[in-house]
Chains A and B, each alone.
Chain A
Amino acid sequence: MALFEARNITKQFGTLYALNNVSISVPEQSIFGLLGPNGAGKTTLIRIINQITGPDSGELFLNGQKLKPEDVTSIGYLPEERGLYKKMKVGEQALYFARLKGLSKAEAMRRLKYWFGKLDMIDWWGKKVEELSKGMQQKVQFVTTVLHEPRLLIFDEPFSGFDPVNTNVIKNEILFLRERGATVILSTHSMGSVEELCDNIALINKAKTILEGKVDDIRMQWAGDEYEIVFEGDVTLPGNGELKVIEKHSEDNKSIIRFKTGSNRNTNQILAEAVSFGRVISFNPALPSMNDIFIRVVETRN
């Protein structure tokens, strides 16, 4: 069941379309990737979901109900451009944002203690934000976003500014939040993390959705006629026949070969041909990376 749904959202600035009849559906307890090149309309859609601006037309549903102003307490938003009051102390600030999301002071304190402890931030409590490094500030902001335990979390480029160690910490936290029941909308340009984290995606380009669905399905769909086969020992495929080698390399006495075939053949036929060249260890359709798909989709559209 969809926790969040946007139906036929249109938003215009003057004569320019920021969003043109865009619909997305985010299943409950999943991570949804909102992708698209710069200026595609992602931020506008996120702002509409956060009710910062209203759409010109279209409807929004949270948990099957029309989105209401009070629902801001069920949504947590980490904007791409991070913002904290520089002169304010970390603890005071975190408390302030929690209060704005409707938490009582006592409850906010309890949860802040938990999160500050969990992410190793206790020492920062009395420091001013400007005394922290950028990555530390990001962590503070992450905590303020998730503190009120919203059902829907929206992360806009959550990993920018983090070192690999902290990126991993935050990734695990996001997965942990999903585990505990949260639904996440993740907007990012890092396709690696999309493959790693996302269950579903929507790709927006020039104010329109151009690709939508489960990440695995999409990759299968775009796999085309490419396969990856692993032989034991050094095996060479003939360059002429039906199988066209794209790439080959050897390691640990194995040959890993990517190849392309004609589109009229099924996997059984291909495998039958392949076994004649050597002992097959594994055989898989070669899934394109989300990065490749992104570039191909956007470029063909342009």
Chain B
Amino acid sequence: MNKISTIINREYMTRVRKKSFIIMTILAPILMAALIIVPTVFMATQEMDYKKIAVIEDNSDLFRGALKNSGTLEFVYIDNVKVDDLKKTFEQAGYYGILFISSELVNTPNAIQLISKKQPPIADLQYMENMLEKEIEKQKLMAYNIENLDEIMKNVESNVSIQTQKIDDTGLVKETSTGIAMALAYIGGFLMYMLVFMFGSQVMRGVIEEKTSRVVEVIVSSVKPVQLMMGKIIGIALVGLTQFLIWVLLTFAIVGVVRATVLKDKNLTEITRTGPQSLMNEEQQAEVQAQIQQTSPELTEFSKLFESAMNQPWGLIIFSFIFYFITGYLLYASIFAAIGSAVDNETETQQFMLPVTIPIILALMVAMGTMQNPESSLSLWFSIIPLTSPIVMIARIPFGVPAWQLILSMGLMVITFILFVWMAAKIYRTGILMYGKKTSWKEMWKWLRYSG
């Protein structure tokens, strides 16, 4: 046992001290955060992209004033200009495009054109369509001569956004977000794939290094081959866990900082709302009120997302992730170790790698499908079958998994990894001392049955 710990120590220390490890460990969470922040910033700056659109109506002014300016769109109604003339000059005049509305629009939904040099963003189109649809509805309603129509319209106006809630077995209601669950499934599944593959193949490279440099013969004259193999596998597993835990801590730290700054802003607005209210006159109050209304929808949305993210079963997710990482890694690392022991150099690994890669890739594909449909029977089976379960189950957990499935999957995983480690040890023992012979699957099967 003492010797195994010596081996584990070497495997661990030589890797943790590498520059590439240190850089990866610190950089990855920052990159991850950047991946989230950069698109947000990008989108924010894009919104500043201000568009002026010329609106021409064909012999009517049914829609005059219907298109209200938004933060990024300004509509300018132009009379007495032919569309064909404007087509040539609109760019010089500073317009993004021309919205040409036919008087037939009320009855013919596609009697409208947006002429521009660039493909307009879908959001802008939706905005315009929305406005015009409302206007048409309003005009059609007006034909019924309803009294106080404007008031009624204001009254019925609504904006629907579905909020999802998940009930657990105890009936506890938690606000959740499918978006967050999807993100977690994606990140979890992909991270698992990366870690298992990355550290699994590190085991293989380590074994090949020892075999080609012939260090192995010196070591197995001091320790049993199984001890060397397990020492290497465990040492590298600890490297992986160290990296993962640092990632988790750093990510939570970054999230914590972001959350703290956002909440501070929110508190500030709350103070201005409740605090010096009495000192303000009505006008000022209205102004503040308007300001809050402008800013708070985004804020509440943001804090809701946070709340939803915090409501995820983090304990279960992290526990399962570590469990599946350890067992899945042990399973694949032992296969990789056996392959490494059977070959003389890295190029020879190709023929053995394919059958190992297939279940991993398959698992990743199913995991991606799981995000669309977590309840599919494909996802269910792949999350129970040991070779694919680490990746698929991790993708399923944020959506909620029945306890029996989790227990079955974990149980099978434990049994399988023990079996694989045992088989790998037998192949490894023979393989590492075998040189110059091209190994086949048949040969490995023979080694499996050697004794002593």
Binary contact readout B35-48 vs A (1 if CB under 8 angstroms, 0 otherwise) = 00000000000000
**Beyond A52-B221, A87-B14, 15 extra complex contacts between A and B, CB < 8 Å:** A50-B220, A51-B221, A79-B214, A83-B210, A83-B213, A83-B214, A83-B216, A85-B210, A100-B3, A100-B6, A100-B7, A100-B219, A100-B222, A101-B222, A102-B2
Contact indicator B221/A72 (Cβ below 8 Å): yes
**B52 in the interface (beta carbon within 8 A):** no
Q: A18 CA to B109 CA in the complex, in Å?
A: 90
Q: A56 CA to B14 CA in the complex, in Å?
A: 38
Q: List 7 A-B contacts (CB under 8 A).
A: A47-B433, A79-B214, A84-B215, A85-B14, A85-B215, A100-B223, A102-B3
**B266 in the interface (beta carbon within 8 A):** no
Contact for A81 among B14, B217, B219, B223, CB less than 8 A = B217
Q: A96 CA to B10 CA in the complex, in Å?
A: 8
Q: A88 CA to B213 CA in the complex, in Å?
A: 12
Q: A237 CA to B433 CA in the complex, in Å?
A: 58
The 8 A-B residue pairs with the shortest CB-CB distance, nearest first, are A83-B214, A54-B452, A83-B215, A81-B214, A100-B222, A50-B221, A77-B221, A79-B217
Residues of A within 8 Å of B224, CB to CB, are 69
Q: A269 CA to B311 CA in the complex, in Å?
A: 110
**A184 in the interface (beta carbon within 8 A):** no
Residues of A within 8 Å of B221, CB to CB, are 50-52, 72, 75, 77, 79
Residues of A within 8 Å of B225, CB to CB, are 52
Contact indicator B10/A52 (Cβ below 8 Å): no
**B218 in the interface (beta carbon within 8 A):** yes
Residues of B within 8 Å of A72, CB to CB, are 221-223
Binary contact readout A95-129 vs B (1 if CB under 8 angstroms, 0 otherwise) = 01101111000000000000000000000000000
Q: A72 CA to B219 CA in the complex, in Å?
A: 11
Q: A50 CA to B220 CA in the complex, in Å?
A: 8
Residues of A within 8 A of B (CB): 47, 50-54, 56, 69, 72-73, 75, 77, 79, 81-88, 96-97, 99-102, 141, 144
* B433 to A: closest C-beta gap in Å: 7
Binary contact readout B270-290 vs A (1 if CB under 8 angstroms, 0 otherwise) = 000000000000000000000
Residues of B within 8 Å of A56, CB to CB, are 452
* B203 to A: closest C-beta gap in Å: 16
Q: Given contacts A79-B214, A82-B214, A83-B213, is CB(A52)–CB(B7) below 8 Å?
A: no
Contact indicator A86/B7 (Cβ below 8 Å): no
Contact indicator A83/B222 (Cβ below 8 Å): no
- B184-236 residues with Cβ-Cβ distance < 8 A to A are 209-210, 213-225
* A117 to B: closest C-beta gap in Å: 23
Contact indicator B14/A52 (Cβ below 8 Å): no
Which of chain B's residues has its CB closest to A154's CB?
B221
How many pairs, one residue from A and one from B, have CB atoms within 8 Å of each other in the complex? 64
Residues of B within 8 A of A (CB): 2-3, 6-7, 10, 14, 209-210, 213-225, 433, 452
Q: Given contacts A47-B433, A96-B10, is CB(A86)–CB(B213) below 8 Å?
A: yes
Contact for B217 among A52, A54, A101, CB less than 8 A = A52
Residues of A within 8 Å of B214, CB to CB, are 79, 81-83
Q: A23 CA to B3 CA in the complex, in Å?
A: 32
Contact indicator A96/B6 (Cβ below 8 Å): yes
Residues of A within 8 Å of B215, CB to CB, are 83-85
* B61 to A: closest C-beta gap in Å: 80
Residues of B within 8 Å of A69, CB to CB, are 224
Residues of A within 8 Å of B452, CB to CB, are 53-54, 56
Which of chain A's residues has its CB closest to B5's CB?
A99
* A123 to B: closest C-beta gap in Å: 22
* A72 to B: closest C-beta gap in Å: 6
Q: A89 CA to B32 CA in the complex, in Å?
A: 35
* B227 to A: closest C-beta gap in Å: 10
Q: A101 CA to B222 CA in the complex, in Å?
A: 6
Q: A79 CA to B14 CA in the complex, in Å?
A: 24
Contact indicator A77/B213 (Cβ below 8 Å): no
Contact indicator B223/A84 (Cβ below 8 Å): no
Residues of B within 8 Å of A77, CB to CB, are 217-218, 221
Residues of A within 8 Å of B219, CB to CB, are 97, 100
Q: A275 CA to B224 CA in the complex, in Å?
A: 66
Which of chain A's residues has its CB closest to B219's CB?
A100
Centre residue among B10, B210, B215 by max chain A CB count within 10 A: B215
Residues of A within 8 Å of B6, CB to CB, are 96, 99-100
Contact indicator A97/B213 (Cβ below 8 Å): no
Q: A72 CA to B3 CA in the complex, in Å?
A: 12
Which of chain B's residues has its CB closest to A51's CB?
B221
Contact indicator B218/A52 (Cβ below 8 Å): no
* B358 to A: closest C-beta gap in Å: 32
Residues of B within 8 Å of A75, CB to CB, are 221
Contact indicator A97/B10 (Cβ below 8 Å): no
Which of chain B's residues has its CB closest to A76's CB?
B221
* A162 to B: closest C-beta gap in Å: 18
Residues of B within 8 Å of A73, CB to CB, are 222
* A203 to B: closest C-beta gap in Å: 24
Contact indicator A84/B3 (Cβ below 8 Å): no
Which of chain A's residues has its CB closest to B10's CB?
A96
Q: A53 CA to B431 CA in the complex, in Å?
A: 12
Q: A96 CA to B2 CA in the complex, in Å?
A: 13
* A160 to B: closest C-beta gap in Å: 13
Q: A144 CA to B117 CA in the complex, in Å?
A: 76
Contact indicator A84/B213 (Cβ below 8 Å): yes
Residues of A within 8 Å of B218, CB to CB, are 77, 79, 83, 97, 141, 144
Q: A73 CA to B223 CA in the complex, in Å?
A: 10
